Amino acid sequence: MTTTEAAPETRSFEADVAKLLHLMVHSVYSDKDVFLRELISNAADACEKLRYEALSDASLLGDDGQPRITVTLDPEGRRLTIADNGIGMTEAELGDALGTIARSGTKAFMDRIAGAKESEDSHLIGQFGVGFYSAFMVADRVDVVSRRAGTDTAASWSSDGLGTYTIQPADLADAPARGTRVLLHLKEDAATYTDAGMVERTIKTQSGHVPVPIVLADTPDAEPRQIADGAALWTRPKSDITPEDYKDFYRSAAGQFDDPALTLHYRAEGRHEYTVLAFVPETKPFDLFDPDREGRMKLYVRRVFITDEAQILPRYLRFVRGLVDSNDLPLNVSREMIQESPVLAAIQKAVANRVLSELDKLATGDTERYLAIWDNFGPVLKEGLYEDYARRETLLGLARFKTTASGGAWRSLQDYAGALKENQTAIYYATGTDLDRLATSPQLEGFRARGIEVLLLADQVDSFWVTSGLDFGGKPFKSVTQGLADLSLIPLVEGETPATDASEAVNGFIAFVKETLGDAVSDVRASDRLTTSAVCLVASEHGMDRQLEKLLAGSGRLDAAAKPVLEINPHHALVEKLSAVGTGDEDVRADAAHLLFDEARIADGELPTDPRAFSARLMRLLERGLG
C-alpha cells in the first residue's frame, strides 16, 4: 500500500480540551518532565500487549522479536520522538485512544486542577491519568503515526491541543513496520528536551525500570545507544534494590508522583511460585470512591504481561498498586478464563492476607506511618468489614476510630476494650456524616455521664458494617440511637447525680405528647440517655439504625422510613414546666408537644415536619411568654 489520497478528517475532542490543556500547562508547568514518563509508560504497555498477543500468534512479531522503545532527539528541528515496536493501533483505535481526554474524570480533573495549590502540582497528573496529553505541556503540536501488528495499513493523528485533531490513513513508507511513533514539535522554552544528557538523566530517573529496553539517539542520524536494559525490577534480589529504585519504579508503574507509604516485595515458593511487588500510595487517588474503579495490580506470567483486570486484591484494597508475576499460570491463559483459575484464586487469597499482615505489622511497629495510611484509606478498608467475612477479625484489628474519649486521636478496638465500664455489655457507636455534630449529639449524654466511650462513625460505609452481626471480644456493636439505652446497671462517674423517678405530672405530660403526635412517632417515652437536652429521637429496638435508614431512603432503596421514637428527659426544667401547664390549656400543651418533636428532628440534622406550622407554633408560645 502507498500514499492515500483521502483528505484528513478533522474531529473535536470529546471534552473541553482547550480549557483542560490550558489549565494543565499553567498549573503543572513546574513538573513538565512528566510527559517523558507518561509517553514511555504508554510505549512499554504497547510492547507488553504485543508480547501477550504473540503467545497465540507468533507471526505478529515478524522478524523483530525484541521489544524496545526508541527516543530520538532533533536539536536543530527542536523535535523529540518516542517510538515503540509494540502492538500499534488501527485508525479506529487511534481515534478512540487519543480523541477522548480523561475519559472517566474530565470534570473532576478540571475542577481540581483549576484550584490546585503549587505544592500539589506534582501529584496532579499521576492522580488523574492525563497521560498522553501531558505532551502538550512542552509541544506546540504532536504527530502520531501507528501501525497495528499484523496489518498492512497505518494511520496518523495530529493536534495542536487547542480543541481539534486530524486523523487519516498514513503512507506505509512513512510508518513504522509495527508499533507507534510520537513526534513532539517542542515549544521554544522546551528546547532543553533535545539535550541528550538532560533527557537521559530524566528517563533513567523516571522510567529506568520499565520492563522494556530503552535506546536513545542523540540526533536523527546518530546510532541509538541503550540507556535502560528493561530488566524487571521485581526479579532482582531485594538486597540489590535501593529505596530510590523502589520509588522510581512505583512512580513509573503506578503513575504517581508521591512516595510509597509502604513497599511490599517478596517471592512466594512452595505449592505456587510467584513474586509480588506492591505499594501503598502516600496520597489518596481522586477516584478512590468511584463505583467503577477497579484495582491497580497487574498480572504477569514469567515476566509476560497478561492483564491488569485480574482483581488480584479484593475491592477494599483497591488503593494498592503493583504487580504479581506467577511461574505457575499458563502463558496462553485467556483474560476471560483467568478469573476461573484455581492457581490465581490461591494467589489472590495469599496476597490479600500478606498485604493485611504487613499493614498489621506497621500498625504495631510504626504507629505514625500506619495512621497516615489509615487517614487516607480507612474508609475503604472498612468496606472489607461488610464484604469479607473471612478476614473480619483481622480488619477489626486494623480499624481505628475517633471516639468521645479520644480527643480527636485515633483509637483501636483493643484500646476501647481496655476502657470498658463495669457491667458494660456492648461496644457503643453513633453514626452520622459530621464528627463535630456526632460529638454533640444529645443521645450521647447518658453515656458521657457514665464515662462510657462511644465510637464516632462519620464514614458512609460505617452505617453498613456495624449492622452485619459483628462483635469484638464477645461484645456486640450497639447504636446509641437505637432501642433502649439500658444504662441503669452502669455506675455514674463521680460527681454525677443519680436520676430520680419521673413525677406523676411528667408521666402524664409524656402520655399527652404521645397522644398528640399520634402516627408521627412509634412511641414517646421517658429517657435514661438524656441528661442536659430535653428530647431526642431514636429508632425502635428492632428497627433500623436511623443513619442507615436515611442513607437507604436517600438512595431510593427504602420506600418509607420507620416512625422514630421520641425520648423525653423527665428531669429537664422545660419538661417539668410544661408538665405543670394546666390541663385546660390544651392548645399550649399541643403546641409544645409538636415543638419538642421538631426540636428533636433539628438536633438530628433534619427539618421540622411542617416548617410553616413550626413557625406559627413558635410565635404563639413566644407571644404567650411575653404577654
- Alpha-carbon torsion (568, 572, 574, 576), positive or negative: positive
Instruction: Give the number of C-alpha atoms closer than 13 A to the C-alpha of residue 417, restricted to the C-beta side.
Output: 13
Position 287 scores a pLDDT of 75
Residue 535 inside a domain? The answer is: yes
**Taking residues 266-277, what's their average pLDDT?**
93
What are the binding residues for ATP? 38, 42, 84, 89, 104-105, 127-132, 180, 335
Report the alpha-carbon distance of residue 443 to residue 186 in Å, rounded: 64
Same domain, 211 and 97: yes
Q: Give yes or no for a contact between 15 and 100, defined as CB atoms under 8 angstroms apart.
A: yes
pLDDT score recorded for residue 5: 61
Per-residue CA distances from 120 to 17, 110, 244 (Å) = 22, 14, 21
pLDDT, residue 12, reads 65
Can you give the pTM of this predicted structure?
Answer: 0.71
**CATH code at 611?**
1.20.120.790
What integer pLDDT is reported at residue 204 of this predicted model?
A: 83
98-112, 221-235, 424-438: lowest mean pLDDT where? 98-112
Between CA 564 and CA 561 the distance in angstroms is 9
Output the domain CATH number for residue 325.
3.30.230.80
Confidence of residue 560 (pLDDT cuts 50, 70, 90): low
How do 274-281 and 260-268 pair as beta strands? antiparallel
Q: Residues 125, 250: one domain?
A: no
Q: Does one domain contain both 581 and 524?
A: yes
pLDDT at site 29: 41
Confidence (pLDDT) at 510: 94
Do residue 224 and residue 298 come from a single domain? no
Q: Using the CB atoms, write b or e for 380-406: b if 16+ within 10 Å.
A: bbbbbbbbbeebbebbbbbbbbbbbbb
Tell me whether residue 299 is in a domain.
Answer: yes
Query: To which residue does cell 455534630 refer?
Result: 437
Q: Say how far apart CA 281 and CA 251 lie, in whole Å.
A: 10
Q: Are residues 217 and 325 in the same domain?
A: no
- Do the domain assignments include residue 458? no
Which of 280-294, 437-451, 577-591 shows the lowest per-residue confidence on average (mean pLDDT)?
280-294
Of 347, 370, 393, the domain-final residue: 370
244 and 346 both lie in a single domain: yes
Instruction: Determine contact, residues 342/349, Cβ cutoff 8 Å.
Output: no
pLDDT of residue 125 exceeding 60, the answer is no
Q: Tell me the pLDDT band of 311, cut-offs 50, 70 and 90.
A: confident
Contacts of 220 (CB under 8 A, 6+ apart): 72, 74
State the pLDDT at residue 34: 77
Last residue of a domain, one of 353, 370, 387: 370
Decide if pLDDT at 318 tops 70. Answer: yes
Are 272 and 163 members of one domain? no
Query: Is there a single domain that holds both residue 193 and residue 69?
Result: yes
DSSP code of 393?
H
Lookup result for grid cell 483505535: 93
Do strands 69-74 and 214-217 pair parallel, antiparallel, or not at all (unpaired)? parallel
The verdict on residue 438 lying in a domain is no
Question: Is it the case that residue 122 has pLDDT exceeding 60?
Answer: no
Q: Is 506 helix (H, G, I), strand (E, B) or coil?
A: helix
Residue 549 and residue 464 in contact, taking contact as beta carbons nearer than 8 Å: no
Residues 206, 203: Cα–Cα separation, whole Å: 5
How far apart CA 575 and CA 582 sit, in angstroms, is: 14
Closest CA to 480 of 444, 433, 439: 444
Q: Is residue 23 part of a domain?
A: yes
**Domain with 179 in it:** 9-230
- Residues 462-492: tens digit of each pLDDT: 988 998 888 999 999 999 988 887 788 888 8
Comparing 431 with 205, the larger pLDDT belongs to 431
Query: At a CB cut-off of 8 Å and minimum separation 6, what does 393 contact?
Result: none
* Residue 177 in domain: yes
Q: Of 39, 67, 63, 62, nearest to 51 (Cα)?
A: 67
Q: Is the domain of 188 the same as that of 271? A: no
pLDDT mean over 331-339: 62
pLDDT band at 305 (very low <50, low <70, confident <90, very high): confident
Per-residue pLDDT for 378 more than 90? yes
Task: Render pLDDT for 129-145 as a digit per residue (tens, 0 to 9).
Answer: 457 888 988 999 999 99
222 pLDDT higher than 90: yes
Domain assignment of residue 596, yes or no: yes
- Average pLDDT, whole number, for the chain? 86
Kindly indicate the confidence band of residue 127, based on its pLDDT and cuts at 50, 70 and 90: very low
Q: At what angle do helices 504-517 and 586-603 cross, to 10 degrees?
A: 80
State which of 370, 402, 422 marks the end of a domain.
370
Q: Is 26 a member of any domain?
A: yes
pLDDT digits (tens, 9 = 90+) for 159-202: 988 878 899 999 999 999 999 999 999 999 999 999 999 999 88
- Please indicate whether residue 15 or residue 45 has the higher confidence score (pLDDT): 45
pLDDT at 124 over 70: no
Q: What is the CA radius of gyration of the chain?
A: 32
Range with the poorest average pLDDT among 238-252, 271-285, 287-301: 287-301
Q: Are residues 86 and 31 in the same domain?
A: yes
Averaging pLDDT over each range in 64-78, 243-257, 471-485, 560-574, which range is the top one? 64-78
Structural domains in the chain (count):
3
Residue whose C-alpha is closest to residue 241's, from 283, 274, 282, 208 = 208
Instruction: Output the known binding site.
Output: 38, 42, 84, 89, 104-105, 127-132, 180, 335
C-alpha cell at 624: 404567650
Name the H helices within 434-490. Answer: 435-439, 445-449, 462-465
Q: Do residues 220 and 319 both lie within one domain?
A: no
16/164 same-domain check? yes
CATH of the domain at 69: 3.30.565.10
